[in-house]
Chain A
Amino acid sequence: MRLDERQRAYWHRNLRLTAWLLGLWFFVSFVISFFARELEHILFLGMPLGFYMGAQGAPLTYLLIIWWYARRMNALDLDYGVADAEGED
């Protein structure tokens, strides 16, 4: 398989998007949880912020990350004219 410029550019943009979103994922999952005790005094919906992030904030962020990725990548596929027609096998 010989790669052309367009394919390299496509892959590069995919990698950059993935890296950004993974960074966000890491931040809400591990960085915020690590400092949960320090965030105790900030209340949100009646819960300390660390607790809220674990119970609702982080899961909702994950949903947004996945939605954004699907949206961006599917748009990128259209830009590059990827032949991935529906129902192909």
Chain B
Amino acid sequence: MADYTVRLRRYYTSYTVAFFAFVLMLAVLERYGMPPRWIGYSFLLLTIFLYATIGVLARTTSVAEYYVAGRRVPAVFNGMATGADWMSSASFMGLAGTLYLSGHQGLAYVMGWTGGYVLVALLLAPYLRRFGQYTIPDFLAARYGGNPARVVGVLATILASFVYVVAQIYAVGLITSRFVGLQFEIGVFVGLAGILVCSFLGGMRAVTWTQVAQYAILMVAYLVPVTILSHQVTGLPLAQLTYGGVLQQVQALEERIFVDAGEIEARRLFRERADAYHDRILSLPESLAEERRELAARINALKNDNAQMREIVALERERRELPRTSEDARNYWEAHMRQAAQRGVDPDHHMTAYPSGGESVNEVARANFLTLVFCLMIGTAALPHVLTRYYTTPGVREARLSVFWSLLFILVLYLTAPAYAAFVKHEIYSHLVGSPIAQLPLWVSSWGKIGMVSIEDINGDGIVQLAELVLNPDVILLAMPEIAGLPYVISGLVAAGALAAALSTADGLLLTIASALSHDLYYKVFRPQATTQWRLVVSKSLLLVVAVLAATVASQKPATILFMVAWAFSLAGSALFPALIVGVFWKRATRAGAVSGMLVGLLVTLYYLVRVQFDSIPWLHIQGIGMEPWLGIQSTSAGVWGVAAGFATIVVVSLLDKPPSRETQDFVESVRYPEFDR
């Protein structure tokens, strides 16, 4: 065992050193004129090739290797693999962007995604490891006697993991389309190939060892740019310690910018625009016809004036995009109205907690902050792809330590994300805001091309105002090296890291979905007599099917990454967390209680999430289902209702039911109490 660990350590150290050498080599080549596109290619191709090599070397046909990596992953390496598995594109790309946009409010993600590990460590990991099977539905089935609990567990696992995996593949499409210049939809399927080479042949074993490799790359990629920037701005390369000072400067900049005359003017114009949309919506359908007439008149006037072709084309496109029915027009203009209104709002200070514009605390913001922290924590402690990782350690003691290592490796990123937000904000407030629109930096146009950055000079003064700038949170991190004027090789490095984050999480998730289907549904429910070999064949084919399905959904470009991920957490938390916890700590919980609790939790969350977030579902032809949120809680925290409903249902139904059998009680004891040497 010790020998094995030493060998692993040597492999991965030399591998990390080689990766550093590769980055340095590219940096030198860039000096000598290597074009950026080639740098992008070399990063993406080399890293995917590397993962594929590990994936092929770790191929296996043994069931224990395939599902739980042979249960001999040392705690430290399991920690790293869990870290990579855990840190998705939402953490890597989305988090810094959200912190940039919402300041203190974004810290809910930092706390939620780290605090959940306390629940994993104290309430779940050691007990699951002592139980020692393959999947989370395995545990539910053993505790609650049989297939009903297993099937509901499978349903929840698949639903949550699928929403999550779609978000990862979407991110892969975003990265490849920007850095290699592929079309978004093609990029999605290229990324898919990258995901499949890791997990297809070797299951958990291959995924674990590629994840360790991916962890190294994503950490280097996350730390290098912000360290350089910290050195440039403050003279100290420790971004985590210096960003407090930078935030002080940001605060000073904010105090100046927020009351700038141009800013106030721009915000007023946006509010007026929102009001104009409002009036137009009220006077439908005449306003639509009028709008059409007016555009036609403007186009004619331009044509008669022999104006620039470009302007005419732009107006004609505007006319083409005009909605046809007044129902469409209402939705279209409402979206525009919301956008304009949002840009017209007075901005909040980065460091102020629960800002309300005045001295008082914004109660709704506080409630949303606390419930989001809660949902993300509960979700962390219930997402099957993370929990199954603790089946792969050699024993209970290693499982406990492994949670510690996991969180330590994860913290490296989470403690740095707020620094990113601070440095980028400092850069943008001190350099971009107030600069002339005629001399915009290059990154604005290169990211603007794929619709991630836009600047609209609404007050026509030729100067960039903060209110005129719109940044998509998902690109703040990817664009950061360019924003700070770092060499392109750093951009390539960040892209490779983001890709590693998305691929590693997608691997773990796809494997979890495939295991739930092949192991839990096919083998345990439908064909217990299936041979080992046949089970692996089924699992591998399902992996392919699910992967293609997820890529198809992702190519439709659904909501932003962070939103999708937050939903996955709420779904997993409300369906699985109560049943898992109660399964260990309350012997009296019965099968009927657990099954109904899981279903109620899941349905309540789904119901709330769908009705708050969507007003219509076009492909089901459902309309007008939107509702006002309860107590102002947003859809990302939908799980708070689901978890409460789930716990309540389990307790009430179990107490009405007759106590569980002797066998079940023995099972709980076997999970709680270790065997003692006498």
Contact = CB atoms under 8 A, between A and B. Distances in A.
Interface in A19-47: 21-22, 25, 29-30, 33-34, 36-37, 40, 44-47
A10 to B, nearest CB: 7
Contacts of A65: 118, 121-122
B407 A47 contact: no
B673 interface: yes
Nearest to B116: A62
Interface in B368-397: 369-370, 373-374, 377, 394-397
A54 B107 contact: yes
Nearest to B669: A1
A58 B676 contact: no
Contacts of B352: 37, 40
A12 to B, nearest CB: 11
Contacts of B415: 55-56, 59-60
B412 to A, nearest CB: 11
A11 B64 CA distance: 30
A46 B239 CA distance: 13
B666 A29 contact: no
Contacts of B104: 36, 50-51, 54
A59 B672 CA distance: 28
A54 B620 CA distance: 41
A1 B122 contact: no
B676 A7 contact: yes
Interface residues of A, number: 51
B411 interface: yes
Contacts of A46: 243-248
A74 B676 CA distance: 14
Contacts of B111: 29, 33, 54, 58-59
B118 A66 contact: yes
Interface in A56-89: 56, 58-60, 62-63, 65-67, 69-70, 73-74, 77, 80-89
Contacts of A74: 397, 400-401
Nearest to B395: A84
B676 A82 contact: yes
A50 B414 CA distance: 17
Contact of A66 (B130, B353, B366, B404): B404
Interface string A1-19: 1010011001100000010
A45 B241 contact: yes
B63 to A, nearest CB: 13
Contact of B1 (A3, A52, A54, A86): A86
A32 to B, nearest CB: 10
Given A37-B354, A59-B110, A73 B400 contact: yes
Contact of A51 (B107, B675, B676): B107
Contact of B370 (A34, A44, A55, A88): A34
Given A21-B118, A29-B373, A63-B407, 10 more contacts: A1-B666, A11-B673, A22-B118, A40-B352, A47-B351, A48-B351, A59-B411, A63-B404, A82-B676, A84-B397
22 contacts: A6-B676, A18-B122, A29-B115, A30-B370, A33-B369, A33-B373, A34-B370, A36-B104, A47-B247, A55-B418, A59-B114, A66-B118, A74-B397, A82-B396, A82-B677, A83-B675, A85-B395, A87-B1, A87-B72, A87-B394, A88-B394, A89-B71
Interface of A: 1, 3, 6-7, 10-11, 18, 21-22, 25, 29-30, 33-34, 36-37, 40, 44-48, 50-52, 54-56, 58-60, 62-63, 65-67, 69-70, 73-74, 77, 80-89
